[in-house]
Chain A
Amino acid sequence: MMSDMSMTEVAAGSAGRTWRRMRANPTMLIAVTVLLAVLLFALIGPMISPYDPYETALRMRLKPPSAAHWLGTDSQGRDLATRLMYGARTTLMLGLAGVTFAALVGGTIGLLAAFYSRLDNPLMRLVDVMLSFPSILFGLSLAAMMGPGLDSLILAIGLSIMPGIARISRGAALSVMAQDYIDGGRVIGLPDRTLMSRYLLANAYAPILTYTTLAFGDAVLLAAALGFLGLGLQPPTAELGSIAAEGRSFLFIAPHVSFAASALIFLIVLPVNMLGDALRDAADRRAS
């Protein structure tokens, strides 16, 4: 009902409500704070660190944390904190690129399957086949098949998490397809692409976005896992998974290397998952 509320207030209503619920939720605040800290570490860190992430200093190998090297040094004598900054940047970038690719492809597949019922079966059965592989195994075989390299790594990560996004998108889009306004758009003669963008996607995006946030955590984890298994970017490129793998050989004499890299992965994935859960709760009107 129209009231004195201004239009912009009303338009912002649902986003504003979501934000208020998020603020009232301490988990959410912790998640956002940790994630921002990690982001600052990865983005600003490389600019202010006095060390080079690639220059080796063999006499400084595997030194424990000290005033000069806050997190110690790795097996090549490089400053571990600096390595982790560059590594976090790489891993985050891989996760982001992978999840973006997955959201674009998976979202499109889901919307198409919901919109054109004759495409539903062929597309979703394909997605089912992809889903039947554990995504780590799927990413592993893809990365091994396509060989090392940034493009193939992003593709492997993206394709591994795409099926989940496709399923969620189809589900969300199907419930929108059942609404009268889809036919309402048709009776005025709207072409399919307009119906799919301004009617279907515009009303179905919320669950897709929430799931994609959660999938970002999976993508980061997968990027790190591939790096750990040696299928990621090749050394000396700093990447969290491969730094953790490097440190594994010296786990008993210098546990700080693996530990710090693993902790950083944890500090990325956990808040992302918390954020996704909180987003889902905040967007879901039934949860109070």
Chain B
Amino acid sequence: MKHMPQDTMLTTDITRPDPLLVAQGLTVTFATDQGPLRALDAVDLTLAPGETLAVVGESGSGKSVLSLALMGLLPGTARIEADSLTFEGRDLTAITERDFRALRGTGMSMIFQEPATALNPVRRIGDQIVEAIRLHEDIPVRKARTRAIEALAATGIPAPAERAEAFPHQLSGGMRQRALIAMALVHRPRLLIADEPTTALDVTVQAQILDLIRDLARETGTATLFITHDMGVVAEMADRVAVLYAGRLVETAPSAALFSSPEHPYTVGLLGSMPQMNARGEPMLPIQGTVPDPRVMPPGCHFHPRCPFAAGACLTDRPALRQVRPGQMSACHNAPLIETLGGAT
């Protein structure tokens, strides 16, 4: 696996010397009946304390595998390799299961896409939060209960004391997601992984939940790894964006730069497939083709079969992630794209 540590340094904002999370050359391979399946291919990521990083990509790009790998929740059939995978300087590839368990909930936590199924259906909301509190803190049940109700109140749930007595099925989707957020943040973790937290919710509730996550994260100084395929959510939430395609990181940039001048054809495609309020009448531009089968990845750049600019080296050589402008890196042979297009944009 070829990979460039010097590039990784460039993605790190040098004003924040101690990154919270560093992944270098993170590769996840699943053993399947049809042979090994590479879900993540040498992904480099850094996350500074308090930063919000959005990881975007289509279904099958490896977004969810990334979140599960970071939480140490991949099934036994998965193999994780990395040149470096550290959280607060601790090597996550060498950590014992016991230490990892102590880290989950306190150092890092996670909320899920489907609030309907992410809570234990046979236990009351309050009991689940109390359990989460007492797992890492030796306090009496009554105190933990007060804390749990406070945590629910902080997420804007009306009548939190009553809701604590409810079973998950008695709450609406938005309520359940709030309860999950309360549970995830109850120990003020340094990292919150949000795996498409609004996908399953009504549009009106989505914005509320996004605001809630942002506000609570800001309040507690929690860094957020936001996994989504919704560029609208990215624009709303992220400081920085990492674009995944077919298991590889194809572009990373500050949010504003990514939207104003994307430097990977795939990112251009993602932005083009986003509905625009002010571009009435103009057709949306879907990306041609589909995500390749991970068992038969195309050679060279994984995106070349779908890329309008593909030529020459794209078909044979894997493009390295390289800096296009400060803070913005692209894994495209043709970057910066403005030159490729001959100044047409």
A7 and B120 contact, Cβ closer than 8 Å, known pairs A188-B135, A189-B135, A190-B135 = no
The answer to whether A181 touches B104, judged by C-beta atoms less than 8 angstroms apart, is no
Taking CB atoms and an 8 Å cut-off, the chain A residues in 165-206 that contact chain B are: 179-181, 183-191, 194, 198-199, 202-203
CB distance from B46 to the nearest CB of A (A): 22
Binary contact readout B209-233 vs A (1 if CB under 8 angstroms, 0 otherwise)? 0000000000000000000000000
Contacts of B131 in A (CB 8 A): 188, 190, 194, 198
Main secondary structure, interface of A, reads: helix
A32 to chain B, nearest CB (A): 26
In the docked arrangement, what's the CA distance between A202 and B128, Å?
A: 13
Q: Give the distance to chain A from B296, nearest Cβ to Cβ, in Å.
A: 26
The answer to whether B170 touches A2 (Cβ under 8 A) is: yes
Q: Assess whether B112 is in contact with A184, with CB atoms less than 8 Å apart.
A: yes
One digit per residue, 1 when the CB lies within 8 angstroms of any chain B CB and 0 when it does not, for chain A 7-24 equals 100110000000000000
Does A129 make an interface contact (CB < 8 A)? no
Alpha-carbon distance between A11 and B122 when the two chains are bound, in angstroms: 9
Interface size on A, residues (CB 8 A): 24
In the complex, whether B71 has a CB less than 8 A from a CB of chain A is yes
Complex Cα gap A194–B165 (Å): 21
- CB of B76 within 8 A of chain A? yes
Closest A residue, CB atoms, query B180: A184
* Size band of the interface chain B makes with A: 35 or more
The answer to whether A285 has its CB under 8 Å from any CB of chain B is no
Measured CA separation A135–B56 after assembly (Å): 55
State in angstroms the CA–CA spacing of A188 and B104 once bound together. 5
| A154-169 contact mask (Cβ, 8 Å, vs B): 1 or 0 | 0000000000000000
B9 within 8 A of A: no
What A residues does B71 contact at CB under 8 A?
A: 186-187
CB-CB contacts below 8 Å: B144-178 with A: 162-163, 165-167, 170-172
- Bitwise interface map of B from 241 to 276 toward A, beta carbon under 8 Å scored 1, else 0: 000000000000000000000000000000000000
A47 to B124, CA, bound (A): 46
Known contacts A187-B184, A189-B135, A189-B136; is A180 also within 8 Å of B104 by CB?
A: no
Give the residue name and chain of the A residue nearest to B171 (CB).
A2
Other-chain contact of A187, B102, B104, B163, B170 (Cβ < 8 Å): B104
Is B121 interfacial (CB 8 A cutoff)? Answer: yes
A118 adjacent to chain B (CB < 8 Å): yes
Cross-chain contact of B119 among A2, A181, A186, A190 (Cβ < 8 A): A181
B109 and A187 form a contact (CB under 8 A): yes
Q: Is the CB of B122 within 8 A of A189?
A: no
Is residue A1 within 8 Å, beta carbon to beta carbon, of the partner chain?
Answer: yes
Q: Which residue of A lies closest to B76 (CB)?
A: A117
Q: Which residues of A contact B180 (CB under 8 A)?
A: 184
Q: Which chain B positions have C-beta within 8 A of A189?
A: 101-106, 132, 135-136
B73: which A residues are within 8 A, CB to CB? 183, 186-187
Instruction: Tell me whether B329 is interfacial, beta carbon within 8 Å.
Output: no
Complex Cα–Cα for A202 and B122 (A):
7
Taking a contact as CB atoms under 8 Å apart, the answer to whether B170 and A198 are in contact is: no
For the complex, is B183 an interface residue (Cβ under 8 Å from A)? yes
Interface check B75, CB cutoff 8 A = yes
* With A117-B75, A181-B121, A183-B73 as contacts: A188 and B166 at CB distance below 8 Å: no
Contact B170 A202 (CB under 8 A): no
Q: Is the CB of B102 within 8 A of A202?
A: no
Chain B contacts of A184 at CB under 8 A? 112, 118-120, 180
Could you write out 16 A-B pairs with CB less than 8 Å apart? A2-B170, A117-B75, A179-B117, A180-B114, A181-B121, A183-B110, A184-B119, A185-B120, A187-B184, A189-B102, A189-B135, A190-B135, A194-B131, A198-B123, A198-B131, A202-B120
**7 further interface pairs, Cβ-Cβ under 8 Å (given A187-B110, A189-B103):** A117-B76, A189-B101, A189-B136, A190-B135, A198-B123, A199-B120, A203-B122
Partner-A contacts on B (CB < 8 A)? 68, 71, 73, 75-77, 101-106, 109-110, 112-114, 117-123, 131-132, 135-136, 162-163, 165-167, 170-172, 180, 183-184
Listed in ascending order, the chain A residues whose CB lies under 8 Å from chain B are 1-2, 7, 10-11, 117-118, 179-181, 183-191, 194, 198-199, 202-203
